């Protein structure tokens, strides 16, 4: 693994040289900001537009001006060309080619050496690694279902809890091997403890086994059917996980009550929650839902950052099904990631759940080197909420109201002076 980046860099240099020799335009990944944007407020930009587009004295401008439209038109075009939300739901792009066809938009014949190297990698990944990984995955899941079902027959007590933890750790670690996951855990003294809630940024469904292979957690989620349902039913027999029916998930009070009852019992495992509610592409952290932070308990933040050079862990659920996604993971070189356990955090006096969630999110983003965004990850599938539009309308109307108040005050002062 340690020599792979050198090989990837050589492949990239050779690809660029071949593209230049063949006059083939080489695709370059976009940066995080293809449009230069100055950190200015709406009021400052409106004033600048009025100053540059009007010969009138600004002090006489009391209400709406036609030039104000240019601000909103420009922002709209910028959002279409380079919005900071949509690109968080597509695969993170690489500066170097990692010899995976799916990570190179210019894949074509360049040279014999490069083709042989790619073919050798294909043979190793699909002919050797993939069968071994699939075998390990079926072994891990099969043992999890079988052993947790057996442990569920035991009476509740210390022995059952101990066996349950050992079985969960063993099976999750087998599943981690099925992905050839190379994980580095930092600051293990801050690992979540019973009676708390562990919150982490969310890139992939495998985030669960990445964390659970280093410690046991109580999972929270909706009850599924099929194979996933079989796994959930067997797991809950051995350990008090929190599963909800589809109709119960929408009842916030019921969800909060179930979670609160769980954390109040200090003998139960810490709850693992991903407050974003959807997978983000390993570059950012988006809005945390406040529900997990309304419960008066200790929160243990965890930051997860994947190294995309060896395999892209992001799950684009609108493009790939679960089986297809897992096969892509198992046919990558490896899954390399770092996990940071941050110091526990609690709500401060007078702090509401929203501000607490934002404070935890900022700490995770800072530690993981991720971009801290205020947008709701639900925009991945839903339209922009009316509240976001209303915020911009309120800001603009506030500017007009202030100008109108200032203008009337100036007129009144002039009349009194006369």
The model's pLDDT over 167-193, given as tens digits with 9 standing for 90+, comes to: 999 999 999 999 888 899 999 999 998
The answer to whether the CB of 312 falls within 8 A of the CB of 376 is no
Task: Give the CA dihedral 363, 208, 219, 341, nearest 10 degrees.
Answer: -30
The answer to whether the CB of 182 falls within 8 A of the CB of 203 is no
The first and second tokens of residue 92, run together, are: 């993170």
Question: Which pLDDT value is given to residue 21?
Answer: 57
Domain limits, the chain? 133-380, 385-418
Question: Which pLDDT value is given to residue 107?
Answer: 55
The answer to whether the CB of 255 falls within 8 A of the CB of 291 is yes
Question: Which pLDDT value is given to residue 185?
Answer: 94
Whose CA is closest to 282, among 94, 106, 100?
94
Tell me the pTM. 0.74
Strands 197-200 and 299-307: parallel
The first and second tokens of residue 210, run together, are: 């990445």
Residue 388, C-beta contacts closer than 8 angstroms, at least 6 positions apart: none
Question: Which pLDDT value is given to residue 189?
Answer: 92
Find where tokens 């922009």 sit. Answer: 384
- Which residues, listed in sequence order, are joined to residue 301 by a DSSP beta bridge? 199
Measured between alpha carbons, how far is 76 from 205 in angstroms, rounded to an integer? 34
For the chain, residues with pLDDT lower than 70 are 1-87, 89, 91-96, 98, 101-110, 246-251, 378-393, 395-418
Question: Which pLDDT value is given to residue 34?
Answer: 44
Question: Which pLDDT value is given to residue 160?
Answer: 87
């Amino acid at each position: 693994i340690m020599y792979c980046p050198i090989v990837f860099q050589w492949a990239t240099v050779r690809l660029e040289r071949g593209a230049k020799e063949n006059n083939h335009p080489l695709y370059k990944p976009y940066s995080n900001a293809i449009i230069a944007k100055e950190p200015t407020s709406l009021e400052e930009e409106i004033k600048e537009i009025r100053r540059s587009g009007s010969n009138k004295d600004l002090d006489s401008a009391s209400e709406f001006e036609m030039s104000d439209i240019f601000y909103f038109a420009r922002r709209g075009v910028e959002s279409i060309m380079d919005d900071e939300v949509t690109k968080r739901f597509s695969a993170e792009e690489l500066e170097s080619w990692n010899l995976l066809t799916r990570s190179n938009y210019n894949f074509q014949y360049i040279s014999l050496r490069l083709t042989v190297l790619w073919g050798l990698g294909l043979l190793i990944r699909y002919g050797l690694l993939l069968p071994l990984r699939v075998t390990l995955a079926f072994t891990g899941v099969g043992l999890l279902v079988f052993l947790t079902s057996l442990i569920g027959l035991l009476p509740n007590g210390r022995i059952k809890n101990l066996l349950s933890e050992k079985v969960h750790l063993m099976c999750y670690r087998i599943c981690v091997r099925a992905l050839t996951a190379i994980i580095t855990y930092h600051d293990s003294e801050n690992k979540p403890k019973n009676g708390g809630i562990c919150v982490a940024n969310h890139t992939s469904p495998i985030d669960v086994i990445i964390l659970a292979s280093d410690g046991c957690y109580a999972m929270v989620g909706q009850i599924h059917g099929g194979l996933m349902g079989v796994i959930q039913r067997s797991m809950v027999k051995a350990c008090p996980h929190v599963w909800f029916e589809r109709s119960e998930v929408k009842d916030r009070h019921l969800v909060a009550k179930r979670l609160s009852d769980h954390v109040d019992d200090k003998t139960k495992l810490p709850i693992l929650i991903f407050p974003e509610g959807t997978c983000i592409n390993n570059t950012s952290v988006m809005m945390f839902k406040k529900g997990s932070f309304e419960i008066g308990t200790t929160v243990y933040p965890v930051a997860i950052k994947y190294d995309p050079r060896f395999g892209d862990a992001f799950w684009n659920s609108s493009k790939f099904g679960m089986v297809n996604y897992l096969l892509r993971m198992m046919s990558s070189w490896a899954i390399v990631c770092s996990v940071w356990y941050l110091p526990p955090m609690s709500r401060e006096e007078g702090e509401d759940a929203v501000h607490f969630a934002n404070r935890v999110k900022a700490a995770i983003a800072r530690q993981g080197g991720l971009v801290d965004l205020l947008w709701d990850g639900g925009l991945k599938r839903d339209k922009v909420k009316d509240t976001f539009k209303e915020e911009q309308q309120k800001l603009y109307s506030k500017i007009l109201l202030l100008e109108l108040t200032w203008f009337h005050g100036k007129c009144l002062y002039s009349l009194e002076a006369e």
